[in-house]
Chain A
């Protein structure tokens, strides 16, 4: 699928170095409105570091990130106003109730009709009746849902998700997938990092495979498949799944987590 919409995320030469370790190196890609990009890679590949850099949570060592046309480093407020970042572990304030979390987010992002939107989200995420609960009174899955509700409240144009289905029950997983699809159809750009390769294959239009902090494959699954066959790789009979492709790619890429700078 080709996306002709404006790019919501542009990444040029992104790098992140910790001491002597390169967690991410020379990453360049873009995500257009309505596109879902899957970010996959082995453990320690640099996925979470990349997402955190994209969200403005940690400063990159080098490179440029543009979100909705705003430079994340030079104009972080406008850039961050367009995005939502959902980390793998829900980070909530212990002393705020479910509804107070949404109220806080509404003020920070200036969501005038937040109460109507909050009601819809609470219904959608099965948090109705839990409005006055504190996070300590919620299960792991419910916390994840609250984190998702907070992320979606301001209708972000770019959604960055790190393992978004962790802790959700089967119904929650199905609803989450539907919700992500709908948001992409409504024009949001989505970057989704997950080890659940069937989920990535199902939802994502393009896939970015990183290993050792570098891009080792980028494109649609078909493009990656044809690239591999063009590179002389013997493809097995029938269509390869993302899992097969992933294993072939990452087994060729440099081993170990990050490289030395």
Chain B
């Protein structure tokens, strides 16, 4: 069997089996519902725009001329950055299986490279197809011509970048691309850019901005790109773009041959490369495999593991075992860099509030920013702080073998992130209280402020724990829905799963909080006239108490779910 027929088998069987597996998964209602939800979203948001011809508006020729500029610039930047700053090794992307079966197979190096190029061309075809579905109608109204052109654009660019990578690596391997040569190349590139800039400003001087119009700018750009020497330089980049933007068959027919010629030249160039890519490709595949393994073992906790000596506290060897899991998760928070996003959020809000400080006093502005962050953390922090079951799903068999009740494990898993977020919230509430203390607000005295701060300090962590309970319940009830493995759930189904998860979380959050809101609201209204802001404190205490009861019941139930959890269930 030749490598070409082997490649056809691999790709054909791969696509067929993926579709078959997707259909098999849809026999389970949860995956079927997720697929339907994803398909509906896909259609509602994007699909309705997919129409190719008829009544739709197409871009005028001037706009098509203008639209070439960012496309050409994007391509040129990609090409320049690969030549100037690309990797030093000829890394081509092969999967582990391809490396295992094809590298030792009795095939030539050239055949292996052809296989890799064929795979890239297939992938770029699907990208071009997606682009055509969403862009062809409003750009040219010629989907087939657009598809051919978009594919030629992407494929030629892909071939060029591959060729550049191989050529660079070959030069470095031969010791012909040292620092001096790199600096020389950079200097030449900068000189070329400077020459073009000079030429644009001196020879093809644009009109003054006051005289600019769509037509005049388009005409200037068109003349600029059509004038030598820039037209010669840009010809290989523009040729396939012209095919994609062709609005009639005659333009398409005249644009196609040069684009095909450029594609063919690139293909031949890459295929003629003698640079050894095997070793670097194997290394790259191993790196990817290690990264994937690390992601799988952490199941979505995200970020690399950082080694540092920070431990939250000394863990004594005797005492309640839950503390060990909390300790473990607090270490994870520091080493898996989870809180960075929260710190970034806090820094962004505080920096944003700095803009208001010119008009308002610093204290109240910062205080308001701190206060505003507290409810934001209730919604955002439990989704980003995944140092609980979402992180430990890969080691759940180990957790199950520990001599702890399910209730203890669930409580410990929730308390890790809960303590961190509660600590942040309490710090923010204290900061808000302190920063705004010196600024009087009509109708609110110091006791009212204390009541408000205490109410927030009670309610905020309770709400965070509620959200965390919902997130962890999702893991224990629908473990397959916790996205951790890129190969596990993809496409429409994965999109639907995420939508349902978010929607489900909001609905459950609403119903869990409903009793507390009703009871707290009634008590607050009744006591308001007598206690003023003191009523808020009483209402918050009652609401927090109700949430605490609900949380205890939830932990009890989730503990039982954990005790019955079957790690081998599909």
Contact = CB atoms under 8 A, between A and B. Distances in A.
Interface of A: 18, 49, 52, 55-59, 76-81, 83, 85, 87, 91-97, 100, 103-104, 106-115, 132, 134, 136-137
B305 A134 contact: yes
Q: Most chain-B CB neighbours within 10 Å: which of A55, A87, A96?
A: A96
Contacts of B331: 95-96, 100
Contacts of A18: 568-570
Given A78-B403, A93-B332, A95-B332, A107 B323 contact: yes
Given A58-B566, A108-B321, A77 B404 contact: yes
Given A95-B335, A108-B324, A136-B305, A103 B315 contact: yes
B394 interface: yes
Contact of A57 (B323, B403, B567): B567
10 contacts: A57-B401, A58-B567, A59-B566, A76-B403, A80-B402, A94-B305, A95-B335, A106-B317, A132-B307, A136-B294
Contact of A112 (B297, B307, B318): B318
A59 B397 contact: no
Interface residues of B, number: 39
Interface in B169-226: none
Contacts of A77: 403-405
Given A96-B328, A110-B321, A134-B305, A91 B397 contact: yes
Nearest to A137: B307
Q: Most chain-B CB neighbours within 10 Å: which of A57, A81, A95?
A: A95
Contact of A109 (B403, B566, B568): B403
Contact of B404 (A57, A85, A108): A108
B563 interface: yes
Given A52-B397, A95-B336, A136-B305, A107 B321 contact: yes
Contacts of B323: 107
Interface string B477-501: 0000000000000000000000000
Given A58-B567, A81-B403, A100-B311, A107 B394 contact: no
Contacts of B395: 91-93
Contacts of B328: 93, 96, 100, 104
Nearest to A100: B331
A103 B290 CA distance: 26
B530 interface: no
B355 interface: no
Given A52-B397, A94-B297, A100-B331, A107 B319 contact: yes
Contacts of B566: 58-59
A87 B567 CA distance: 13
Contacts of B316: 107
Contacts of A76: 403, 405, 563
Closest 10 CB pairs of A and B: A107-B324, A81-B403, A80-B403, A95-B335, A106-B317, A57-B397, A85-B401, A57-B400, A108-B321, A95-B332
B401 A56 contact: yes
Q: Most chain-A CB neighbours within 10 Å: which of B401, B402, B405?
A: B401
Contacts of A92: 297, 395
B317 A112 contact: yes
A10 B356 CA distance: 72
Contacts of A136: 290, 294, 305
B134 interface: no
B305 A108 contact: no
Contacts of A85: 401
Contacts of B568: 18, 49, 52, 58
B564 interface: yes
B266 interface: no
Contacts of A96: 328, 331
Nearest to A103: B315
A92 B399 CA distance: 11
B137 interface: no
Nearest to A73: B563
A79 B403 CA distance: 7
A94 B294 contact: yes
Interface in B360-394: 394
Interface string B292-319: 0010011000000101000100011111
Given A58-B567, A134-B307, A107 B401 contact: no
Contacts of B321: 107-110
Contacts of A56: 400-401
Given A57-B567, A96-B328, A107 B315 contact: yes
Contacts of A109: 321, 403
Contacts of B319: 107, 110
B405 to A, nearest CB: 6
Nearest to A160: B401
A33 to B, nearest CB: 19
Q: Most chain-B CB neighbours within 10 Å: which of A18, A79, A85, A93?
A: A93
A141 B408 CA distance: 32
B97 interface: no
A107 B405 contact: no
B105 interface: no
Given A55-B401, A94-B297, A104 B332 contact: no
B401 A114 contact: no
B296 to A, nearest CB: 10
B398 interface: yes
A95 B294 CA distance: 10
Interface string B273-306: 0000000000000000010001001100000010
B327 interface: yes
Contacts of A49: 568
A113 B394 CA distance: 30
A107 B567 contact: no
Nearest to B568: A58
Nearest to A102: B317
A2 B321 CA distance: 38
B564 A59 contact: yes
Contacts of B297: 92, 94
Contact of A110 (B317, B397, B570): B317
A260 B418 CA distance: 45
A134 B569 CA distance: 30
Interface in B393-427: 394-395, 397-398, 400-405
Interface in B469-526: none
Nearest to B297: A94
Contacts of B403: 76-81, 108-109
A236 to B, nearest CB: 39
A77 B408 CA distance: 11
A137 B305 CA distance: 11
A104 B315 contact: yes
B30 to A, nearest CB: 15
Q: Most chain-B CB neighbours within 10 Å: which of A103, A112, A114?
A: A103
Contact of B327 (A58, A104, A112): A104
B317 A114 contact: yes
Contacts of A80: 401-404
